């Protein structure tokens, strides 16, 4: 089936486009040569998973120029400044789009941001081939995105193993109970629950809350898509979500740093008073920003 035949399922079109891109990349740089580059690559900040395990709600802030559903989000795209603004405002990690066709991303954005900003960086792309995991390592990423909807169970296990061997974290994305079960059986340690159905790009803001109870203690839960207010983040924190991945709400803001600070929940103690509880509900000793 050719890419143009994928007319009804956006995710299938994205996956087909990624497969075609990987084929071109392999022709330009064979896997054996890419592996050599990985061996020579500077180790990325290994703290992506640790950043999400900190007390409170962690923020993965996305550097994104466009999307299939929203079109061009950031006509002026000073990606260096965007990443630095996020870091200065207290982001815990960054997500950088590298998918070029539908999101107008570029590997250059990731490479340069990873060198310039001292935060762990997720390569946000549609991983359909192990080659892309090695690419992420060579580019300086700290983590890769693995989407259950485009990977069978065996491939997901293999990709998680490769990421581990390269010292990369993996954000394993699910949308429903079936995909969650596959991810957990494969050994995923970081589950991203996407509120957006990638087949239709419709958003159900409470999808993460619906699946949160089925994610075992010790496995990180990240809410993705449809997060645009402090009320959203407070509700997620109250329900045991560990982190949020936020893109459009920040990219459209005139002051991205202020927008990030405004999204932070006002965390409360069990008696309802303002406080700074850890994710376990105990009062933490960190400073609220």
| Catalytic residue IDs | 62, 64, 124, 173, 194, 224-225
Q: Residue 112 — left, alpha, or beta (φ > 0 → left; ψ -120 to 50 → alpha)?
A: alpha
Structural contact between residues 49 and 189, judged by C-beta atoms closer than 8 angstroms = yes
- The interaxial angle of helices 153-165 and 130-139, nearest 10 deg, is 30
Q: What is the Cα–Cα distance from 201 to 193, expressed in whole angstroms?
A: 14
Q: E strands, 64-111, where?
A: 66-67, 71-72, 93-97
Angle at CA 215, nearest 5°, toward 209 and 217? Answer: 115
Q: Token pair 């309802």 is at which residue?
A: 272
Q: Token pair 């959203």 is at which residue?
A: 232
Q: Token pair 């409470």 is at which residue?
A: 206
Can you read off the two tokens belonging to residue 168? 């990369």
Structural contact between residues 113 and 79, judged by C-beta atoms closer than 8 angstroms = yes
């Amino acid at each position: 089936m050719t890419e143009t035949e994928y007319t009804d399922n956006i995710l299938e079109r994205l996956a087909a486009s990624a497969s075609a891109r990987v084929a071109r990349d392999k022709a330009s740089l064979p896997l054996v040569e890419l592996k050599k580059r990985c061996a020579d690559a500077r180790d990325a900040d290994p703290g992506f998973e640790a950043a999400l395990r900190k007390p409170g709600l962690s923020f993965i802030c996305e550097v994104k120029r466009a999307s299939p559903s929203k079109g061009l989000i950031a006509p002026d795209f000073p990606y260096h400044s965007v990443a630095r603004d996020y870091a200065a405002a207290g982001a815990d990690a960054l997500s950088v789009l590298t998918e070029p066709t539908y999101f107008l991303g570029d590997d250059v954005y990731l490479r340069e941001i990873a060198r310039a900003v001292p935060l762990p960086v997720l390569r946000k792309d549609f991983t359909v081939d192990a080659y892309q995991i090695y690419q992420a390592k060579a580019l300086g990423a700290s983590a890769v995105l693995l989407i259950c909807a485009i990977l069978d169970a065996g491939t997901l296990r293999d990709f998680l193993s490769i990421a581990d061997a390269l010292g990369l974290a993996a954000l394993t994305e699910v949308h429903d109970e079936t995909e969650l079960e596959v991810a957990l059986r494969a050994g995923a340690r970081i589950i991203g629950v996407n509120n957006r159905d990638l087949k239709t790009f419709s958003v159900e803001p409470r999808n993460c809350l619906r699946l949160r109870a089925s994610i075992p203690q010790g496995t990180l839960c990240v809410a993705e898509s449809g997060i645009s207010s402090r009320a959203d983040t407070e509700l997620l924190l109250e329900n045991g979500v560990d982190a949020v991945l936020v893109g459009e709400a920040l990219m459209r803001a005139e002051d991205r740093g202020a927008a990030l600070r405004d999204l932070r929940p006002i965390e409360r103690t069990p008696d309802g008073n303002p406080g700074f509880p850890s994710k376990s509900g105990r009062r933490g000793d960190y400073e609220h920003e």
